Structure 1
């Protein structure tokens, strides 16, 4: 039985630990928190898993909350215009919604990771509660066939050198602020339709609204991602969760009044339901060399840390765990040497690179061709659906998103096809809830 040490108890570390455990590997998992500490602690991340990542969990039998978490059928996009409303508020220029091919779901990581950690221990896994250091790994690496580092922050992340050719940014591109709330009302123009809402305020940042399941039941995540130094970059010196929520709502009223209208009765889900921070999106080299010469392999955001603005983090982590699972099991009894480590990461990167490229593009100011695409989505559901399904499979953006000529050709083709259909069958309204306007 091959022995593997996994350091880190997030989406990738736990998913991989439970999958390998089920396949008969001798797994030791190191976590810096107990399940009880996770449940009672502060939010440290958020996630919304799209259909592919959910399928990986379902195939492993780890979708414990599938019947309780909201079924998210689509994603809506709103674009704010200038501050021309009374009091300096912003009006919506665009508002539409597209549908996933399948459903997405969000579960509070405090609930999910604690549950998975309990499951790993209940199934006989060796669980070590300890914040691992480089010196710890330098001692332990000799005792295992493979050591995987699935901790994306702190000292261990520094084992993996920055890949400058794949990391265009050297400073944070967004300052993020999260509040998990009860009491958010539905979007009146889309009743009964659960969707992630992505609100773009050009030059200022984004507001994501995500239906979720938290420790106390159904809730919503209000996630501001602000351009550093701008009007959303104001959460770092707050003294309490109450101040955090009050500021969140103040910014909603100013920049996204259509979202504020359904948030007037919200309250935090618990005392640990807020988070603020920033980090530099970075791709690192996958193999870390310890002082003694031992090698460790980086997993998920330990080596590919995308900005959260496009919601790819947990999805990329789930896909990384699935890819590494196959690379490990295919290796059989052969050594997990540096060549294998490099190859295992290259296999994962072949897909992960698309999420990284798209996320980095979303951090830049939207070009005219992107706004043309967003406008076309408001009137043509196939465009809206294709864009939204790219959150699940960002490789599709290669065909039409990045190049203005390809974007124009794609939009023209959809418009022409739509016109031909209208000529043949008469004009038709788009499916209900696809587009809306107003403030």
Structure 2
């Protein structure tokens, strides 16, 4: 039986661990926190997972919150014009419902499920020195690092050819709340994407958290601008007040839904920033051992397109497929590099190109697409479905000539 070590207990690491376990592999997981510590901790993400990514979980029965989690039916895109006026509104239905489950709920339950099924978990943080020792022992056939937010990321070299940014492109501020009212213009559960050109974006998404259904308010602020007020962590109450104050000024149609909101719990806020980066997938450690990076260890994009958990789930699915196909052959450096390139070409490249483009001022052809989508559900639906399958954007959204050809081919609404 092949033995695999996975360092990190997030979306990608635990999904892969549970999937490999179901396929009969001997899997060990290293987690910095226990399930109870995760449940008592701060929120970790703003996950909104779309159809393709959710299917990778459902194959192995990991969608444990299907009945409790709000079924997201689309995206509602709004462009703001000063002073706080809505200049454009685009409801974008999607073909398959999306879902958002608080990772404190999800990762704690997945850790417990992995242990219940006989998996081995070591609850401890892992340093670079620890990782070096683990790979040197030869105990595992394959060591995978799935801890994308810790110090271990540093053992994977940045790929400058695939990483155009050398600094954070947004300041991030998240609050989980109860008490939001439905959108009167589109009352179905949806992700609301509110762009304030030149300043940033406010996202609103329904989620399922420790205390039941809730909503996430998520500001993305262009560094140095008037929305960029979270350089240091704020008290949760102050954080929420600032979130709402900015909504009142820049997106009043969202603020009107927030007159009775309150934080879901005492650790329902998150703030920070990071530099979007693509890293090389193989780390050669001082002792000569190899570690294989996955998900946001090697492809870390800004959350403006909501692809973090989606990419992590797809990466877990792709790595699972490659591990199973490799049989008894060695997991050597050539295999790791070939595997990552396949994942990059099938998924990572499309997400990265699209996300990096959305961080910049919208070019004329994208403005034309959104303007058409406002009155044409065919275009709006294709844009919404791209959040599930970003590879489609290459066919019509990313280049002016393709956008022009596509818009010319779509019947008028």
For the superposition of Structure 1 and Structure 2, which TM-score range results when normalised by the shorter chain? over 0.9
Question: 2:407: which partner in 1?
Answer: 411
2:190 corresponds, among 187, 195, 198, to: 195
Is residue 82–residue 250 contact of structure 2 (8 Å, CA) maintained in 1? no
Map 1:25-174; keep pairs closer than 5 Å. Answer: 25-83=25-83, 90-141=84-135, 142-174=138-170
The whole-number CA distance in structure 1 between the counterparts of 2:139 and 2:46 is: 34
Assess if the C-alpha contact under 8 Å between 2:77 and 2:192 holds in 1.
yes
Matches of 2:322 and 2:356, distance apart in 1: 28
Confirm whether residue 370 of structure 1 aligns to residue 378 of structure 2.
no
SS across alignment from 1:76: strand
1:285 aligns to 2:265 (yes or no):
no
TM-score by length of 1: 0.92
Structure 1 residues not aligned, in runs of 5+: 84-89, 420-439
> Matches of 1:127 and 1:383 in 2, distance apart?
47
The Cα of 1:346 is off from its aligned counterpart by 1.2
1:276-325 Cα deviation digits (max 9, x unpaired): 00000000000001111110100100000011111000000000000000
1:409 positional shift: 2.4
- Shift in Å, 1:45: 1.6
Give the match's secondary structure for 1:148: strand
- Alignment gaps of 5+ in structure 2: none
Residue 309, structure 1, aligned to residue 304, structure 2: yes
Partner of 1:262, secondary structure, is coil
Matched, 1:354 2:350: yes
CA RMSD of aligned residues (A): 0.9
Deviation at 1:238, TM superposition (A): 4.9
**SS at 1:418's partner residue?**
coil
In structure 2, the partner of 1:426 is none
- Aligned counterparts of 1:158 and 1:112: Cα–Cα separation in 2: 27
| Other-structure match for 1:388 | 384
What is the deviation of 1:236? 2.7
Runs of 4+ in 1 over 3 A off after TM superposition: none
Say yes or no: does 1:178 pair with 2:177.
Answer: no
Residue aligning to 1:262:
257
Query: Whole-Å Cα distance in 2 between the matches of residues 108 and 153 of structure 1?
Result: 17
Of 137-146 and 124-133, more deviation after overlay is shown by 137-146
Q: Can you list the C-alpha shifts for 1:385-426, whole angstroms capped at 9, x where unaligned?
A: 001111111111111112223222222222xx227xxxxxxx
Of residues 157-166 and 397-406 in structure 1, the stretch that sits farther from structure 2 once superposed is 397-406
TM-score (norm. length: structure 2)? 0.98
| SS state at 1:379 partner | coil
Equivalenced residues, count: 410
Aligned to 1:435: none
